[in-house]
């Protein structure tokens, strides 16, 4: 595996040799003073370029960074739909396990790079880069909800939970799992707001709750772990019931903190409905075991 110094040397060498590349910026965890370094950290690199379209027409341009194990170019794909924001990315995993996520940004958009608080200048041939503040995680802090966002999150959680229960009653586990992930999205959103309150919305909680364990109360963390089920029917029922219980606890805390209206009756109705369907499913399975 090539060393960190070797990778940075290569990146700067490519940039210096290519006259179309006018500046280089480091983003991501390697720019983050709080990140714990490990061998899995990506190199999140921005090249500020002239003639971007000319570069991406060169089919082998990216190969100078190493032997590719697999690569993705999101802006050249139909699914998932690209952002089409004028940049172009090469997401490259190499055979030596290093990964470089290289984004080419047209020189006309250079000032937008200051929107990311994890930005470190590596090269600036023309003194065109905006002034970066000392790298911090401030761009990645969660935002507090307003009453509308809270209400919508709650309604989506309780509404789609009924879909999960229906799928489990029919023993349609793949469907139920798909609906569960929609419910989980709202649960994680509510947990983010809860932890934002605990941390004054000044901590990076990580993508998809990556750092929740560092901040969540131990009993709530334990409850969260029980919401992840295997592919067994009864285990899936229990994980759903645990999600309902956890969401009820957390959403009441968030509502109290911000003086939002907690949908008490809606929550009670859905919990009773899911428990009723669970009971029917148990009875049906006892009569007609699979």
pLDDT exceeds cutoff 90 at 231 = yes
Q: Which of 194, 1, 15 minimizes the C-alpha distance to 102? A: 15
pLDDT, position 287: 47
Q: Report the CATH number of the 141-287 domain.
A: 1.20.120.330
Mean pLDDT over 262-267 rounds to 97
pLDDT, position 80: 85
Provide the pLDDT confidence category of residue 283 given band limits of 50, 70 and 90: confident
Q: Report the CATH number of the 4-139 domain.
A: 3.30.460.10
pLDDT exceeds cutoff 60 at 289 = no
Q: Where are the domains of the chain?
A: 4-139, 141-287
209 torsion bin: left (phi>0), alpha (psi -120 to 50), beta (else) = left
pTM score, whole prediction: 0.88
Share of the chain above pLDDT 70, in %: 98
Digit-coded pLDDT (tens) for 171-210: 999 999 999 999 999 999 999 999 999 999 999 999 999 9
pLDDT exceeds cutoff 80 at 285 = no
Instruction: Please state, in angstroms and as integers, the Cα–Cα distance from residue 3 to each residue in 6, 22, 99, 119, 228, following that order.
Output: 5, 25, 12, 21, 37
């Amino acid at each position: 595996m090539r060393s960190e110094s070797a990778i940075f040397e290569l990146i700067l060498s490519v940039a210096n040799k290519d006259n179309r590349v006018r500046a280089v910026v480091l983003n991501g965890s390697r720019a983050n003073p709080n990140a714990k370094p490990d061998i899995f950290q990506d190199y999140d690199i921005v090249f500020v370029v002239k003639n971007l379209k000319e570069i991406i027409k060169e089919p082998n341009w990216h190969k100078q960074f190493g032997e590719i194990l697999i690569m993705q170019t999101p802006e050249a794909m139909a699914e998932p739909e690209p952002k089409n924001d004028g940049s172009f990315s090469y997401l490259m995993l190499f055979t030596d396990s290093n990964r470089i996520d290289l984004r080419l940004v047209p020189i006309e958009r250079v000032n937008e790079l200051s929107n990311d608080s994890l930005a470190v200048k590596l090269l600036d041939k023309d003194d065109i880069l905006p002034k970066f503040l000392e790298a911090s995680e401030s761009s990645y802090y969660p935002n507090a909800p307003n009453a509308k966002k809270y209400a919508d999150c709650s309604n989506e959680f309780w509404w789609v939970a009924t879909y999960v229960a229906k799928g489990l009653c029919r023993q349609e586990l793949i469907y139920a799992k798909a609906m569960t992930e929609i419910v989980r999205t709202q649960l994680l959103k509510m947990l983010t707001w809860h932890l934002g309150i605990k941390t004054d919305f000044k901590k990076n909680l990580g993508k998809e709750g990556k750092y929740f364990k560092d901040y969540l109360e131990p009993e709530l963390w334990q409850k969260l772990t029980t919401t992840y089920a295997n592919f067994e029917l009864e285990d899936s029922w229990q994980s759903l019931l645990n999600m309902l219980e956890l969401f009820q606890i957390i959403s009441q805390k968030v509502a109290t903190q911000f003086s939002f209206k907690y949908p008490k009756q809606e929550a009670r109705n859905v919990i009773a409905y899911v428990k009723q369907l669970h009971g029917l499913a148990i009875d049906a399975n006892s009569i007609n075991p699979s």
